[in-house]
Amino acid sequence: MNEKPMRKLTFSQNLAAATGLGASCSFGLAPYNQWWLLFIAVPIAILGLQGLLQNNAWRIFLAGWCFGFGYFIFAMHWIGFAFFVNGTHDLWMMPLALGGLSAFLALYWAVATVIAALLARRGHPLWLSIPPAFAAMEWLRGHLFTGFPWSVFGQMVDGMGGVEQAAAFVGMTGLTFLIWAWAASVYGIWVERGWLRWSCVLLLLSFPATLLLGQWRLATHPTVYVPGIMLRLVQPNISQNEKWREGNARKIFDQLLSLTSAPSSTGLPVTHVIWPESSIPFLVDESPTGRAEIAHMLLPGQTLLAGAVRRSAPRDDAAYFTSILVFDSNANVLNHYDKWKLVPGGEFLPLAWLLEPLGLRKLAALPESFTAGGGATTLPVPGAGMAGFSICYEAIFPEAVASAVGEPDWLINVTNDGWFGNSSGPWQHLAQMRLRAIETGAPAVRVANTGISAVIDAYGREVFTSKLNAAGAFDVVLPQRGIKFGNGTWLNVPLLLLLFCAIVLGEIAKRR
């Protein structure tokens, strides 16, 4: 392939092109699902990088950073909506938060670009060096500095039909590697000759093969439901402007009670009621009146799982947690789960000693930051086996939705997407919960204050989905769990094999 058109660009034009190509890749994510753009944008980006290989490492780093910045600023633009909730005080922080986060995440892609370029200088084909470099850096992005694995390429399988089923075998990082490899193989077909070109053809053909195998898996594993477990998903649809306004607590609590007490829409008794994240705007476990009203509302034998704020002790210096409380029908708290992956800038302020004097603050209403819980937890739910608990943002971490000890029969995620309005954020959040269901082989139940509530079977199919920004009480039977392939650690084995094969193939190509 003639590379002269890209080489005629000035360095500044190359950076602008890299930014635009990265931005175009972001449309492969939900709700747009235009993943086919990757098979155009990534090969062109590799072609541009090929023309920069003789430049110094700093220029290559900057080109990779621009590609990443273009991608992340568009992929996560929905974060900016949160600053409009209390725009008078918070809107000025939006460019700093969104721009700063995108600039920081782009550093991972910049390092991956340099690694791939250095391997290419040693003789490895560039198209073969990029997938393992980017997959490794994306894994690091999900773990370093508390981790933030939102918008990884692996999430683009949401729009790829049966390809999504590969999550059960290779996990999120493996999916990221495969998608980079499939997109990069188009460039390989473009420029390579002989056996390397045929290797690229075979690699690209594994994409439709994976899709067909995934479709076969779905066709041979229909949704099966658990008899006798009827869930009620309560979505009150309370705007974020109203949620913590003084004087609204009674009105909000009454709405939750009313939706919970509505007659069953299926004619079958409701066994478990689920309220969304921070649904109750007061410390309900410390309120005798609140618990008495819950006990009066629940039918004998019913269980309530309520997203709520709790504190470690009834005193001013206590630690505050965002939690899920498990109530029996007498409103006794049987158990609780505390969120342990807190949202930076939302539930706690990183580097508060530095940022608070500059006027920056977290978005959550409490004067103090929340305290992180003890870690991933799988807890018993009366009459419904073991559940893997997670709250909101934790759904993006494969290791956070269930404990490695205690196999979950189902996953529950309570959330509040009211911060993000009609943006792409709620859709991307939902897509990630579907992947958690496929990875764990457990059905997932997502209950949103406002956003999208859903029940997802063990193979990622949505058996129920609520409308965005709609109030209601939705009765759905819990699906049965499906097949799980090992545990989360086992999912790294196929990834390591893929990386090893890429390295070996690169060495063969270099020697020839």
Assess if residue 448 is contained within a domain. yes
Q: How far is CA 102 from CA 52, 68, 79, in A?
A: 23, 8, 11
Q: Is residue 197 part of a domain?
A: yes
Same domain, 279 and 394: yes
Among 499, 443, 400, CA closest to 173: 499
- How far is Cα 150 from Cα 166, in angstroms, rounded to an integer? 19
- HEC per residue, 427-447: HHHHHHHHHHHHHHCCCEEEE
Task: Kindly state whether residue 123 falls inside one of the protein's structural domains.
Answer: yes
The per-residue pLDDT for range 269-290, each reduced to its tens digit, is: 999 999 999 899 899 999 999 9
CATH number of the domain encompassing residue 345: 3.60.110.10
- What pLDDT shows up at residue 281? 87
pLDDT digits (tens, 9 = 90+) for 397-406: 988 888 766 7
- 289 shares its domain with 346: yes
Among the listed ranges 37-41, 302-306, 339-343, which one has the minimum average pLDDT value?
339-343
When pLDDT is averaged across residues 51-74 and rounded to a whole number, the result is 95
Query: In this structure, is residue 465 part of a structural domain?
Result: yes
Residue 169 sits in the same domain as residue 269: no
pLDDT of residue 402: 80
Q: Are residues 351 and 466 in the same domain?
A: yes
Residue 1: what pLDDT? 40
pLDDT band (50, 70, 90) for residue 348: low
Q: Give the structural domain span for 359.
A: 225-478
Residue range 258-268, pLDDT digits in tens: 999 999 999 89
Q: What is the pLDDT of residue 353?
A: 42
CA neighbor of 105 nearest in space, from 135, 147, 51:
147
Mapped onto helix, strand or coil, the DSSP state of residue 229 is: strand
Same domain, 28 and 145: yes
163 and 242, same structural domain?
no
Active-site entry in 25, 164, 392, 394: 392
Q: Do 147 and 205 sit in the same domain of this protein?
A: yes
Mean pLDDT, rounded, for 316-323:
88
In the residue annotation, 339 being an active-site residue is answered as: yes
Q: Is this model's pTM higher than 0.85 or not?
A: yes
The answer to whether residue 163 is domain-embedded is: yes
Q: Does residue 182 share a domain with residue 54? A: yes
Helices assigned H by DSSP within 263-391: 288-297, 352-355
Q: What's the number of domains the chain is made of?
A: 2
Task: Using pLDDT thresholds of 50, 70 and 90, give the confidence band for residue 508.
Answer: low
pLDDT at 9: 76
**Claim to verify: residue 313 and residue 334 sit in the same structural domain:** yes
Given 277, 347, 394, 439, the catalytic residue: 277
- What pLDDT does residue 130 have? 93
Cα 48 to the chain's mean position, in Å? 30
- Which among 243, 339, 341, 362 is annotated as catalytic? 339
Q: Let me know whether 84 and 191 are in one domain.
A: yes
Q: Is residue 437 part of a domain?
A: yes
Give a yes or no: residue 445 inside a domain.
yes
What 3 state SS string does 54-102 have?
CCCHHHHHHHHHHHHHHHHHHHCHHHHHHHHCCHHHHHHHHHHHHHHHH
Known catalytic membership, residue 164: no
**Predicted pLDDT of residue 74:** 96
Q: Could you tell me if 290 and 253 are in contact, meaning their C-beta atoms sit under 8 angstroms apart?
A: yes
Q: Which residue has the tokens 């560039």?
A: 126
**Pairing of the two strands 225-235 and 272-280:** parallel
pLDDT computed for residue 54 by the predictor: 86
**Cis (ω within 30 of 0) for the bond into 408?**
no
Tell me the β-bridge partners of 306: 275, 325
Q: For residue 500, which phi and psi values (nearest 5 degrees)?
A: -65, -45
Using DSSP bridges, classify how beta strands 444-448 and 377-380 pair: parallel, antiparallel or unpaired: unpaired
Q: Which residue has the higher pLDDT, 508 or 142?
A: 142
Instruction: Identify whether 284 is part of a domain.
Output: yes
Of 378, 451, 441, 381, the C-alpha closest to 414 is 451
Same-domain status, 498 and 366: no
- In degrees and rounded to multiples of 5, residue 37 shows phi and psi of -60, -30
484 is catalytic: no
Q: Are residues 215 and 230 in the same domain?
A: no
Return the closest-CA partner of residue 419 out of 365, 466, 459, 473.
Answer: 365
For 438-459, write each residue's pLDDT tens digit: 999 999 999 999 879 999 999 9
